[in-house]
Structure 1
């Protein structure tokens, strides 16, 4: 079965620096690829894949949002550590 290493949500992490956020993003992208491979080999069902992909996508959106907040704060000479993870409902509602 699928290794749920991404399950510890970004919201439960201690204050993350940019490199840690980027590492987390890379890890989740790698997990997405692994899920697709597991689906192709029949190790998980399409429903399982979709459920897990949705969880990853939400957390990816939160990570990208946090990274953008940190960069924006840095650009205006504010403390990037004051950036906060926004709730999934808020991040998922953004227009892109």
Structure 2
């Protein structure tokens, strides 16, 4: 907060900066390793669990996922059941 950040919610703080103040930008995508398989992951706001998703029908059946849309399957798991990894890709405003 001493550096100009404002509290948004929970443990999230924000600050608006000029493009010339930024050294590097990244696009960060979270993934979870669950039972040896890699899935896109996010935190469920209602339960606080890890939400895993896939469009792979066979993998979904094998892992006990539920169909949540025409081609999407999902499953909520506890944090200690997964290993979270991040994919960082350089990002450009150009």
- In terms of fraction of residues, the more strand-rich structure is 2
Task: Give 1 or 2: higher helix fraction.
Answer: 1
Q: Same fold (TM over 0.5)?
A: no
Greater Cα radius of gyration, structure 1 or 2? 2
TM, length-normalised to structure 1: 0.29
